[in-house]
Chain A
Amino acid sequence: MESLIELVWKYQRASTDEERNPYASEIVDRVYPRLSRFIRSRVKQASTDDVLQEIFKAIFKRMSFVQAQTSESFLSWVYTIARGQVAESFRGRKTTQSTIADPKVLEEALAHLRVEGGISESDLSDLHVALDLLKAADYPCLGWLWDSYVNELSFVIMAEEAGIKEDAMRKRVKRCLELAEKLANK
């Protein structure tokens, strides 16, 4: 299977609609699930579709000119655009942007797997422990754990958003995990 960055390069080299559309479609298929989860944790549910549309519009308007060397750096560029659109959606409102850790997101996703019988009893029990760990955490730790484990953001991307070094973010998440474990075991 081609990597995300290979799809981006092929898209950039293509010179007709017919050539570009299959690559565009594959890029959307790969990016949409994680990006929609990220947006769901940044804006109110009612606005997610509108914000996602603006993000993808911006991505494909700028796609030909981005010079990413790896899938990770391409994703970093994508999340920069996404955060910009989120900020845009908050413009003029006196609200602080933060990670919305909505347990419904997890329940909804796990319910789909349960219906298909894709989870063993022991995995299910471990998943409940993981959920309890997240429930035990408080902000700002909850936000970082959520971004790392639910939104699947890399430490690089999380560090960029926070304006700190990758290693510092890795340590933050580790400390938060230890704290959540202590709180959950109380």
Chain B
Amino acid sequence: MPEKKRNAEEKLELLSQAVSKGWAKAHPVPEKLKGLVKETVSKQLQDEKKLTEEQRQQRVHEEQRKSSAEQAQQSEQQRRQERRR
């Protein structure tokens, strides 16, 4: 079968796939990080067990607010940086 002729975008997509594959092999998840996640999951579960359903719902709302605020702040920061460049 003849080799496929790729345009520039397709060549970059090929690069993207190759990097993704190669990077995962070159950088496996460190054991230290796995341990840290396990520890965080366990501690978090203990804390969550103490929450009432109402407190839990409150945390869900807080997370939504926090995440939206963080995103807005980051966008503003980025726009300021772009204006400075």
Contact = CB atoms under 8 A, between A and B. Distances in A.
A2 interface: no
A81 B73 CA distance: 12
A177 B9 contact: yes
Contact of B21 (A28, A62, A113, A140): A113
Nearest to A114: B22
Contact of B75 (A21, A97, A112, A161): A161
A139 B40 CA distance: 38
A15 B56 CA distance: 14
A64 B48 contact: yes
A43 interface: no
A87 interface: yes
Contacts of A60: 37, 40-41, 44
A113 B22 contact: yes
Contacts, number: 169
B5 to A, nearest CB: 9
Contacts of A161: 74-75, 78
Interface of A: 15-17, 20-21, 24-25, 28-29, 32-34, 36-37, 49, 52-53, 56-57, 60-67, 77, 80-81, 83-84, 87, 96-98, 105-106, 108-113, 116, 118-119, 122-123, 126-127, 129-131, 133-134, 139-140, 145, 149-150, 152, 160-163, 177, 180-181
Lowest 10 CB-CB distances: which A-B pairs, in order?
Answer: A163-B75, A109-B22, A130-B15, A65-B63, A130-B11, A112-B22, A60-B40, A109-B23, A33-B24, A113-B22
27 contacts: A16-B45, A36-B23, A36-B27, A52-B33, A56-B33, A56-B37, A61-B40, A62-B63, A65-B56, A65-B60, A65-B63, A66-B67, A80-B71, A105-B19, A109-B20, A112-B22, A112-B26, A122-B3, A126-B11, A129-B8, A129-B11, A130-B14, A133-B12, A140-B82, A145-B12, A160-B74, A177-B9
